[in-house]
Structure 1
Amino acid sequence: MRGLDDFLAECDHGPRINGLAGFFAATAAGKSGMPMRKPVADARLLPSDELLRGLVSLHAARQGFFDQHYHGSIPYRLEEECRMAYAVLKYAHHRDAPLSLYSLGTAEGTMARTLSELSEGQIRTLSCSPNAENYTSFMAYGEPPHADFFIGPFHKLTKDVLGSDPRLANFAHGFDIILEDTTFQMYSPNRASQIEFVIQHLKQDGIFVFVEKFRAAEEPDYRRREYQKDFGFKARYFPPDEIEKKQSLVLDTMFGNEVTLAQMADAIRAHFSYCSLTWNSGNFCSLAASNSEENLNRYLSQMATPAIPHEYVYEASLYPTLPVSRAAAQE
C-alpha cells in the first residue's frame, strides 16, 4: 500500500481513539449512554422462520452495553443486523468449507459471536475494537467457540499480527466476508485508503459489507433525516438531554468524516467490480461489494426484505457507477 505510514499516522490521530475515546469507553462499560429500555427486534418486520427466530433470541441474549446504545440510536439497525446475520448464516450453509468473517470495529461483536455459536464452527469470526470494555462484554458469557476478538483499532490489525498470533492464525489466509460497521467515519473521510488497507485481509472472491452514515446530496435532506431519527425513533430510548449531548459530543465530530454515496461509490469502484445497496435508514446505508458476481449474488439472494418502515427509506440504489447484481435489482 502506497503511503502506508501517512495513512497509519492519519488513523492514529483519528477522533475514535483520541477525542471520542472517553465516550466510547464509558458507553462500552455501561457507565453512560444507556437507553431507558433495551431495544428489541420487531418480529413483525422479520420473516417467520425458525432459524431466524433462534438467531434473534441468541443475539438478544449476547448483547452487551454498547450494542444497546447503538441499536437504540439508529432506526431499525437491530432488525437489519439480524437480517444480515441471517443471510450470512444461510450463505455459509451453501459452502463446503467453513466461512471466515471479520467484524471490523463492531463494539462487543455480538453478531459475529452469535453466528459462530449458531453455526457450530461453520462460521469462524474475528471481531475488533479499541476498547477493552467491549472485550469484557464479549467474554461475559464465557469464551465463545469459533469466535475471537482483537483488542485494538482496525489499522493495528496487520497481516503480521494475524500471522504471529496463534489465536488468529486461522485468519492469516484472509476472510470470506468483512463487515465494516460505522468504523471508517470515526477516523477520517479517506475511504479510498481505508478500503485499500482493509482489503489486504479479504479473499479474492470475498464480500466486503459497509454500514455507514452518509452525507446527503442536499444538506436540508440530511438535517430532516436526522430530525426523523432523533425524534421519531431515538426518543423512544433516550431523553432529550441525552440526544442533544451526543449530538454535540460525537455526531458533530463524526460529520466531518462522513462522505456522500457518490464519493463512497468512487472509493469502492477502485477495488471492486460489483456493488449493491442493500439497506437504507435515513442517512445510514449498507453496501455489499465483491469482485465475484457469483458470490455477491448468492449472498444477496439470501437476504430477506429489509425490515424497516418505508418512511425511513430514501435511497433506492447506489450512485450509478458500479454494476448492480441481478439479485439486488430484484429486491
Structure 2
Amino acid sequence: MQDFSAFFEECERAPRLNELAPFFSATAAGRSGMPLRRPSLDLRLLPRDATLKKFVAIHGLRQGPFDQHYLSSIPYRLEEECRLGCAILKYARSRRKPLKLYSLGTAEGTMARTVSEIGDGRIESLSCSPNVENQRSFYAYGVPPHAHFFHGPFHHLTPEHIRNTEDLGMFADGFDLILEDTTFQMYSPNRFDQIRFVIQHLRHDGIFVFVEKFLHEDETEYRLREQQKDFGFKARYFTGADIQSKEDAVLTRMDKNEVTLADMGQVLKRFFESCFVTWNSGNFYTLIASNSRGNLQNFMSRLAGPALPKEYIYAELPSELISQGQAPEPAR
C-alpha cells in the first residue's frame, strides 16, 4: 500500500484550504466575485448539433455563483466546457457500459451534473469540493439522478472512503474518466504526488483530463498572455478594480503552485503512455492522457475543434505532449 501521509499533510497546509479559503467561500456563495453579467457563449465557434443544444440549455440553468465567476475569468473557458461536455456524452454513448466520471474539485460540479442529467443513466458522475456553498448549489435543483457530490477536498476522497460509503459504492472499482479542473494549482506544484494519489481512482484503460494554467519559461511571455486575458476578455465581465483585487488576493499565490507544460509532461510520462494537448487559451491548456491508445483515440474523435479565436492560441492543436504517433484528427 502506498504511503500518502506526507502528501496529506502538504494538502492540509495548502493555500486552497487556508489563506485562499475565504475567497472561495465568498465567491461560491455569490457574496463577491460575481461578474457584471452572466458569461455568454459564442455559438459561432461550436458545431451545431442536438447534443450541444441540449448541453448548453441545461448547463446554463445549472450554473452556480462560482461557475459564473470562473467562466467569466478565463477566455473562452465556457466554450471549452461545452466542447468537453459534449465529447463526454458522445464518448459515453459509444461504450457498452455506463461511463463513470470523476470531476475533481470543480466547484458546483455543473458540467458533471449536466452530462449525467442528459446521459439518462449512461453517465454516473462524482464531483467534490471543500466548500459547503458549492454543495448547496449542486443540490439547488434537487437531488440529481446519476450525479453525486462529495463535500470535502480531493485528498479526503480516498479509495477506502469510497468503498465504505454506501452512496459512493458504485465507484469502488474506479472511474473511466477523471477531470481535474484548475484544482492542483491551488494546492502545490507537487504534480507527481497529486497525480499519484488521484490515479488510484482511474481504471487501467481510463482517461485523465487536465485543465490547468501553466507557467512559461519566459516570464515576459507569461505576463503578456495574462494581460491579454485581463484586458481582452475579463474586462467584459469585471471592473478594473475587481481584476486587480483578484490578482492581489489569489493569483499571486496561485502562480507559486503552477508548473511549466514541459515539467508537467515529464511527470505524466511516469504514469501514462500517451498525452495530447487539445486546447490552449493564453496560459491555460487542456491535456488528455491515457494508457489506452484506443480509448484516447475514441474520445478525441468525439471532440470538436478548439472553440476560441486564434489570437488566444499559442500551441499547435492537437499536439502530442508525450509518446510518439499521429495525433487524432479533431471532430468537425
**TM-score band (shorter)?**
over 0.9
Q: Does the 8 A contact of 1:281 with 1:312 survive in 2?
A: yes
- Residue 42 of structure 1 and its aligned partner are, at CA, apart by 1.0
Where does residue 183 of structure 1 map in the other structure?
Answer: 183
In the TM superposition, residue 217 of structure 1 has moved relative to its aligned partner by 2.0
Corresponding letter in the other structure for 2:118: L
> Any idea what the Cα deviations from partners look like across 1:250-276, whole Å, max 9, x if unmatched?
000000000000000011110000000
1:105: which partner in 2? 105
Any idea what the Cα deviations from partners look like across 1:83-119, whole Å, max 9, x if unmatched? 0000010000011110000000000000000000001
* Alignment match, 1:84: 84
Q: Counterpart amino acid of 2:177?
A: I
Asked if the contact 1:297/1:328 (under 8 Å) is kept, the reply is: no
2:70 corresponds in structure 1 to: 70
Change (3 A) 1:191 1:3: same
Amino acid of the residue matched to residue 23 of structure 1? F
How far, CA to CA, are the matches of 1:169 and 1:4 in structure 2?
Answer: 22
**C-alpha separation in 1, matches of 2:50 and 2:179:** 25
CA distance in structure 1 between the aligned counterparts of 2:226 and 2:304, rounded to whole angstroms: 26
Q: Which residue of 2 aligns with 1:248?
A: 248
Q: Deviations over 1:272-313 (max 9, x none)?
A: 000000100000000000000000000000011111000000
Report the alpha carbon displacement of residue 179 of structure 1 after superposing the two structures with TM: 0.1
Following the alignment from structure 1 to structure 2, what is the Cα–Cα distance between the partners of residues 320 and 13?
31
Cα contact 2:276–2:320 (8 A) shared by 1: no
Residues 1:320 and 1:125: Cα distance change in structure 2 (over 3 Å): closer
**Structure 1 equivalent of residue 166 of structure 2:** 166
Structure 1 segments, 4+ long, off by >2 Å, are 317-326, 328-331
Task: Flag the 1:290–1:65 CA change in 2: closer, same or farther, 3 A.
Answer: same
Task: Name the CA distance, whole Å, in 2 between partners of 1:266 and 1:128.
Answer: 27
Query: Residue 36 of structure 2 aligns with which residue?
Result: 36
| Distance (whole Å) between structure 2 residues aligned to residue 119 and residue 184 of structure 1 | 28
Tell me the residue number matched to 1:219.
Answer: 219
The structure-2 alpha-carbon separation of the partners of 1:265 and 1:221, relative to structure 1 and needing over 3 Å to count, comes to same
Partner of 1:293: 293
Q: How does 1:1-331 map to 2 (within 5 A)?
A: 2-316=2-316, 320-323=321-324, 326-327=327-328
| d(CA) in 2 for partners of 1:74, 1:302 | 24
Matching residue's letter, 1:177: L
Structure 2 gaps of 5+ residues are none
Shift of 1:321: 4.0
Aligned-residue offset at 1:326: 3.2
Whether the aligned pair in 1 keeps the contact of 2:300 and 2:330 (CA below 8 Å) is no
From the superposition, tell whether residues 177 and 213 of structure 1 become closer, same or farther in structure 2 (CA, over 3 Å).
same
CA RMSD of aligned residues (A): 1.4
- CA contact under 8 A between 2:108 and 2:135: conserved in structure 1? yes
Give the counterpart letter for 2:327 in structure 1. Answer: R
Taking the aligned partners of 2:21 and 2:133, their CA distance within structure 1 comes to 12
Distance in 1 separating the partners of 2:6 and 2:236 = 42
C-alpha contact (below 8 Å) 1:262/1:319 kept by paired residues: no
Paired residues of 1:274 and 1:325 also in contact (CA < 8 A): no
Q: Which runs of 5+ in 1 are unaligned?
A: none
Check the 8 A contact 1:276/1:328 in 2, yes or no: no
Q: Is the Cα contact below 8 Å between 1:40 and 1:60 reproduced in 2? A: no
Structure 2 CA distance, aligned partners of 1:28 and 1:138?
11
TM-fit CA distance, 1:322: 2.8
SS at the partner of 2:278? strand
Aligned identity (percent) is 58
- Give the Cα–Cα distance (whole angstroms) in 2 for the partners of residues 74 and 189 of structure 1: 21
CA pair 276-18 structure 1, distance change in 2 beyond 3 A = same
Distance between the aligned counterparts of 1:230 and 1:112, measured in 2? 28
